[in-house]
Structure 1
């Protein structure tokens, strides 16, 4: 791996980055309240919104090649149109920071997870606020769409995943408590399986409906996971943590897993299953006891069974 370019345009820490849908632009937001749009090939600063929000920015989400959304530390949301060079929707319906956002496949409904424990629903096409969910326990830290857009999953700082029906955002329809300190970030791998990053540095694969922790995909040796991202095609998962490392994990095997409702009784408090030999660190580390099956011989692949 080699560095292609770097940018030092922001005056304070960069909080979030996201590629445009066509992969030609990179959006960055910062504690300095600015939004930058850079070209991916050269790293050239193409567009800058210097005082985009009244509070420090926390997240950014491209909706299409022209429209993108930003959320700040004070619960403020703005939706921007690059063609107009200005915001087309502004709202402050949530009381705490906007931690994450997601949008439906039509680019119409925008969902915002907040530190006040609520899920916000906004109509991008009609440029209006729709509704706010009941507050859940802890901060909502992540939001993803699953089950062909029929379900929405939100991670919380309490280590619980809350599920919402697409036509019922007012109250959670289900909840699934993980044996994790927190759910700090979450990305979908398939229509039913998500990978979750936590404070303990473990990346867990979790099936939704039926709710099941499948095992450990990888870890950062006790360093809190900051962000997860899936490469196009869904073969690789990238993770970054407080150890200042970016790691890549092969999650291609997860795409072939089918989880049914039947589950063998498992001893409570037992070790988390390692889904590959690289899911646990080498040497005497804290997670050395997670490996529950022999490593495959050279040239062979591991196919964990459920």
Structure 2
């Protein structure tokens, strides 16, 4: 932003001094300049001083406090990151304000982000993949970045410079679709044909190579003990693999749609899978064969799931909405944000749990404030649904409102609607008892 420069006081004082020396008396000045207005009553010296050093106009730079330019603008969330192509995947550094993303052209980018306006920076880019980059992930210590691609390769990059450290060519016979960093020595990958491979990075070879899915592996997660791998697949099943014993355990019953994502909730006691039909399937730990519960979101799909607390998760969909969903009781809490009309590919959570990051087909990476989500509580009593079907916004820009005024109006409206709903429910309870 271009700021106006402050006027130089030294020049003003020099001009005043020159004026005092050249002006001897009021009479001489009048004779030299006939066009000067007639002299008014009062002290001539005072009038000359006022003419030489006029008062600054209101709103001028000299009226600003200390004459210093305003500081940088601090935002609630970092600015959007604009990309040259659609990003398939995004991941966040485990301890620093750095993100990496991979796009449909096979490029991997690293950015630093900040809430200070204009401070987002591209750190480096890598074009080593020949085809679309499907997923990127940081190592546990944040020093390396792993990426997998449709070109069937696995790449290991240095975070500081983006330098290619290791490449596994032809890691799979089919394009690789999913990736999980299990620990500093173990990596898991899944491909379009349903094959799961587990890699020992110390040996540089796969120690597990199993095919028990009939379609692509969409997502992979692991338990806290790093012993059981869970996979979601396009064939509608969830796979269970024991990586300590290097064996396959079982697959779940078939669901009606593709299973597109998998995550652990309730301190590892529940497993949730998103689906292409917009339904969330819930499994009990050690009860992987059949679902224990399910509930349908008003969404076209559930393509990505990120746990925020033990009970609340964020889901992304092809309809462009990011929903906050409570598990048991199963409830859509509200809207975190949206990419209007654009399918969202993936979600990620910042290292301090302050921001949620999303990438979509609009070639944008957006940041959402989720700092208030952990403090939310969900009443087990199911409230009456709003007549207009609108979700409750959970931050200022959930529906694109960047103005605090409109955000306040929304909060007041939601509060009024909640009060009205509670009043209606009380009235209904009274009428039933009567």
Name the TM tier (shorter chain): over 0.9
- In structure 1, stretches of 5+ residues that fail to align are 296-303
Q: Distance in 2 between matches of 1:270 and 1:46?
A: 51
Cα drift, residue 268 of structure 1: 5.9
Could you tell me which residue of structure 2 aligns to residue 194 of structure 1?
313
Whether 2:300 is the aligned partner of 1:181: answer yes
- Aligned pair 1:107/2:213, yes or no? no
Equivalent residue in structure 1 for 2:411, among 277, 293, 306: 293
Take 2:264 and 2:388, find their aligned partners in 1: how far apart are those partners? 30
Q: 1:246 aligns with which of 365, 369, 378?
A: 365
Q: For 1:48-67, list aligned pairs within 5 A.
A: 48-67=167-186
Tell me the CA shift for residue 265 of structure 1: 1.8
Deviates more, 1:274-283 or 1:129-138: 274-283
Pairing 1:227–2:380 present:
no
Computing the radius of gyration from Cα coordinates, the structure with the larger value is 2
Using the alignment, how far apart are the partners of 2:372 and 2:317 within structure 1? 22
From 264, 286, 293, the equivalent of 1:167 is 286
**TM superposition outliers: structure 1 runs of 4+ over 6 Å:** none
Count of aligned residue pairs for this structure pair: 293
**Between 251-260 and 223-232, the greater mean CA deviation after superposition:** 251-260
Helix, strand or coil at the partner of 2:180: strand
Report the 3-state secondary structure (helix = DSSP H, G, I; strand = E; otherwise coil) of the residue aligned with 1:252: coil
Structure 2 equivalent of residue 121 of structure 1: 240
C-alpha separation between the residues in 1 aligned to 2:241 and 2:181? 15
Displacement of 1:277: 2.0
How many angstroms apart in 2 are the aligned matches of 1:148 and 1:269?
Answer: 35
Alignment partner, residue 392 of structure 2: 273
TM-score normalised by structure 1 residue count: 0.92
| CA distance in structure 1 between the partners assigned to 2:253 and 2:352 by the alignment | 35
Higher relative contact order, chain-length normalized (CA < 8 Å, sep 6+)? 2
- Aligned twin of 2:254: 135
> Greater helix percent: which structure?
2
CA distance in 1, matches of 2:399, 2:388: 18
Aligned-pair Cα RMSD in Å: 2.0
Give 1 or 2: higher strand fraction.
Answer: 1
Cα distance in 2 for residues equivalent to 1:52 and 1:221 = 37
Describe the SS at the equivalent of 1:142.
strand
Q: Deviations over 1:121-165 (max 9, x none)?
A: 000110000000001111000000000100000000000000000
Could you tell me whether the CA contact under 8 Å between 1:221 and 1:281 is conserved in 2? no
TM-score by length of 2: 0.65
In the alignment, the residues of structure 1 paired with residue 340 and residue 143 of structure 2 have an alpha-carbon distance, to the nearest angstrom, of: 34
Deviations 1:91-135 (A, max 9, x none): 000000000010001110000000000000000110000000001
